[in-house]
Structure formats: C-alpha cells, structure tokens
Amino acid sequence: MWTWRWILVLAGIGALMLSSTMVKAQSLAESDIEKELHCLALNVYWEARSEPPEGQMAVAAVTLNRMLSDKFPDSICEVVTQGGQERNKCQFSWWCDGKKDDPTDAEAWETARVVAWLSLLKGSYDPTRGALYYHADYVKPSWSRSMRRTTRIGKHIYYLPRPRQLSVQFMPVKPGGKPLM
C-alpha cells in the first residue's frame, strides 16, 4: 500500500507548491481550518484510500474544485456533505451510506490526512485538469454522457460539464438582406 517514501514524495510536491494557494481557506480561523482539513481527509479516505497517491490527490482536487466553483457550496465540509444524508441524494456515497464515518485503518487515515494537507497547499497542481465530477470505473452513471471526460486516474474517471452550445438560428432572408418573416 503506502510507504513513507510515497508520503515524502507528496510532501516534496506540496513543499514546492507552497507559495500558491489556500484560496478560500486563508480567511478561516485555525479551528475552522482543522475542521475543513478533517472533512477533506475523510473524503479522501472513504472515496480513495485504496487508490495510488495521484488518485487520492485527484479526489481531493475535485473536492477543492467544487469549493471554488460557484455551482457548489463555499466550504470543504459543505461540499462533502452536500445533499444531506438521504441515501443516493448526497454527492459522495460514503456520506449517506448509513454506516459510521470513523476511519478504521490507521495507516490509510494518516495518509489521507497528509494528502488533505498537501492538497490545500498544492498551488496549481490538479491531476484532474479542473474536474468537478468523477465516478468509479465499474459504473456508468447517466449524467456522465453529458460531461466532458478530463482524465482517468486509478479506478476513477474525471469530468467537467461540457461547454454550453450556442444555439444559432438562421432566418430566411430575401435578396438584399430583409427577413422573409
């Protein structure tokens, strides 16, 4: 699974990118930052604990991309818990599966915490290319057909909404440019 070497590699990536962003997190109190980090780590843990390092960073990136998008809530915890706890209504399946949300694998939990911390300090590194959505590769949700695939990392496929198509209507015209209607 994870080795300390991978964690050090991730730490190195984070250290190189420290200069760039904590974007919305900059104005939060320390206790709020801890809460946000905890929510992000839980999401990484439950959504991607068996994924390679880049896959875990990708899940964290989607969570942060949503926080930065005007289509989603403004905090990590609100993004993670969006949709409430009603089964199949939440954004992340672990949140509304009816099971306890306490991590059970200490090593994977520590790794998820490191990934969450590095992701907040990541600068512009986003292995998903800005994705706002993803799903496991063994399912094909109907919503994915209306999305633009950005990449595949580990067992997840990442997406962005397709750009809106401009609807151009042509009006028949007479010679000289006057509309027939």
Each residue of 79-91: pLDDT tens digit? 999 977 666 677 8
CA nearest to 57, candidates 144, 147, 165, 151: 151
pLDDT for residue 28 is more than 70: no
The Cα angle at residue 63 between residues 58 and 68, in degrees rounded to 5: 120
Mean pLDDT of 69-94: 84
Give the per-residue pLDDT at 139: 94
* Spatial separation of the C-alpha atoms in residues 66 and 59, rounded to whole Å: 11
Q: Which residues contact 52 (CB under 8 A, 6 or more apart)?
A: 153, 154
Segment holding 95, helix H or strand E? none
Specify the DSSP element, H or E, that contains 31: helix 30-48
Q: Which residue has the higher pLDDT, 21 or 32?
A: 32
**pTM of the model as a whole:** 0.74
Question: Which sign, positive or negative, has the C-alpha torsion 10, 48, 44, 64?
Answer: positive
Q: What is the mean pLDDT of the chain?
A: 80
Calculate mean pLDDT across residues 148-176: 78
